[in-house]
Amino acid sequence: MAKKLMLIIMMGIMVLCLTSCQNPGQIHRPNADTLYVGSVQASFPTAYMPWLSREGIAPTIAGMLYDSLFSYDEDTGNFVPSIGQEWYYVDQAGEPILTEDGSIDYARLEEVYSDPSHKYLAVKVIIHDNITWSDGKPLTVEDVYYSLDIATNNLLSNHAGALAWTSDLRHKYTNGVLTQRGLFTYEHGAREQGYEIAEEDKDTVIYLHVNKVLGSVMPLFTSVLILPKHIWEPVVTPQNQLNSAAPTEETLYRYRYPVGSGQFVLDTEESGSQQIVLRRRTDYHRTKEDGSPLYNIETIKYVLYQEINVAIYALLKGHIDVLDNSVSSNYLQLFEKEKDLFISNAPGTYIQTLVLNVNPVSSEQNPIRDLLSIKDFRRAIALAVNQEDLIKNVLNGAGIPASSGLMRSTLPDFYNPDADYLPIDYQARVAEANAILDTIVPDRDKDGYRLLNGERITFSILGSPGEQDCISYLEIQFQKIGIKVNYAAKGTQPESTYLYTSRFDMTLHGVSFSLSNIDIMYNAHFSALGRTSNYGRLVNRELDTLIENMRFTLNLNTKYDLIKAIQPILAEEYYKIPLYTSNVISVARTDRFIGYNIVEGSTVLNTSTLQNLKKSNVSR
């Protein structure tokens, strides 16, 4: 409560000094058809390489200018049409492997492809035949082929992310030479491969060969934004790559004037380093059932703020309609006292974890850090974490406890409650933790902190400035077992600076697992070594085998069973210790637009909101 009051007082002080730092009064909402969106970033991009980075506002803008083949609905487990209209696995004759009701026949899929002689799964995709690029040119499967093809050819793309997206596509380049074909269209080897495509379907049908992994199509369908071949093929070369650090004048022009197939186009003349203006396309191929535009908003103007308090002030004073950032729960009391505000307090999907460096490279090992390699020592750390206390004090109640198996309980097909076996009573947990540590590091100093070879056991926890509160409360909790921790700033590039190089003790890291990402993420977080999310370099051969079996089984029920079997093993490693799942809190004004929707894991400016938003009937 005292922290909330102090924050409100600070807000008042900020109001008095706004004119000296940034005057949101200069950015009002003069256009009734424009949605004004505040975004807190260090900066806005002014040039748009098609496959933008995953940082800041870049992926949001990219997803509006370009489309992928499909999007994924976590609630139903189905792919939603976008550029793609329909898809299915096919047998060697190109016939769909479907049940009578049109869904995937997993039993037959396993029957057809379980033979080791079959090295891949064959997938057929049919795209819409009425899509145009924003320059009016028709979009065909040759654009799809070009996008997936260049994504596998790093000599042309120079984009490591694209290689990850297409890692399960059996279409490979070696030093810029195609050594294995896994994409087939009318113009690219379909007939030679045995896939008959009628001439009237040549612009809409493509076949893919993918690894025998049920999740292999996920990144191909949802992560790869399809690019216009006629724009990029003429200029992309090994000397002038798609993702170029030194683009030619012609390439830079294409970056600045992007041609996409998405719902919006960039108004380049109105956009710049302080604002981004998007105009709705009137010829977008997807519509609502009644034929009306998919989105009602004609123009979206993103306004840059470099400080969250300034952005919140701009929202409260009516200079913007939406703040498209997740904000701290500390602001809830402030928002609840204001009129004309819609508060989205959405359930979160990311689990905040405390990652321990259990297996650092030899050059980063030291006696105190070596303690983290002892599983019983890690169990004591896990026992000392009080999630309820963190949720109350760090999140002001806006969150829920997270499972030790790191799977959300809202995903009942995958969540295994057996992974949550630590005692519920916190006093019993602390007592057990101390009993464990008394057998490993029994000596203490005069302040009760445990000693190793006469030195106080102290660990640094890497975090961002916004995570200092969490680390401060962990410090209080770990005092109860005689372990000292302190905050260490992770900086702007923690992966390269600290995490990939093993130069850390502990770090905070958010994780989110679901069927849509689990084939990639389980391996990246718990098995693969090197430049992966397995920052603490965990090695567990039993776990590796289960993850590999889960990834490659073609039996969906077996896959679900293996996901559940993996969770208790993850919990027993005490490697990524769950702290909480925080809600996603965001806010919008209702004096000009209504129809905001709350979506799990998203801010208020989500796809559902954009499809339902309409002008308010209240005159102001």
Tens-digit pLDDT profile for residues 50-84? 898 767 788 899 999 999 999 998 878 889 999 99
pLDDT value for 15: 46
- In order of 262, 335, 378, 464, the CA distances from 64 in angstroms are 5, 29, 44, 29
What's the pLDDT band for 1 if we cut at 50, 70, 90? very low
Instruction: Look at residue 118 in the predicted model and tell me its pLDDT.
Output: 86
Which of 10-24, 148-162, 546-560 bottoms out in mean pLDDT, i.e. has the lowest?
Answer: 10-24
| Global confidence as pTM | 0.86
**The predicted structure's pLDDT at residue 53:** 72
Architecture of the domain delimited by 27-44+272-346+585-615: 3-Layer(aba) Sandwich (3.40)
Query: Residue 576: what pLDDT?
Result: 98
Give the pLDDT score at 9: 36
Segment 198-221 mean pLDDT: 95
- The percentage of residues in the chain with a pLDDT greater than 90, rounded to a whole number, is 80
Rg (CA), the chain: 26
Residue (of 483, 356, 351) closest to 404 by Cα position: 351
Asked whether residue 196 carries a pLDDT value surpassing 50, the answer given is: yes
> 344-365 burial string, b = 16+ CB within 10 Å, else e?
bebbbbbbbbbbbbbbbeeeee
pLDDT computed for residue 618 by the predictor: 55
Mean pLDDT of 367-376: 97
Q: What is the pLDDT of residue 28?
A: 67
CA dihedral 102, 106, 109, 115 (to 10 degrees): 180
The CATH 3.40.190.10 portion of the chain extends over: 27-44+272-346+585-615
CA distance 618 to 620: 6
Residues found in the chain: 620
Percent of the chain at pLDDT exceeding 70 = 95
pLDDT confidence bin for 4, thresholds 50/70/90:
very low
Mean per-residue pLDDT, 379-399: 96
Average pLDDT, the chain: 91
Measure the CA–CA gap between 58 and 196, rounded to whole angstroms.
Answer: 40
CATH 3.90.76.10 residue ranges of the chain are: 65-232
Could you tell me where in the chain the CATH 3.10.105.10 domains are found? 351-582
Q: Rounded mean pLDDT of 157-168?
A: 92
Helix (H), strand (E), coil (C) string for 556-598: HHHHHHHHHHHHHHHHHHCCEEEEEEECEEEEEECCCEECCCC
- Categorize the per-residue pLDDT at 21 as very low, low, confident or very high, splitting at 50, 70 and 90: very low
> pLDDT band at residue 27, thresholds of 50, 70 and 90?
low
What mean pLDDT do residues 248-277 have? 95
**CATH top-level class of 351-582:** alpha beta
CATH dotted code for 65-232: 3.90.76.10
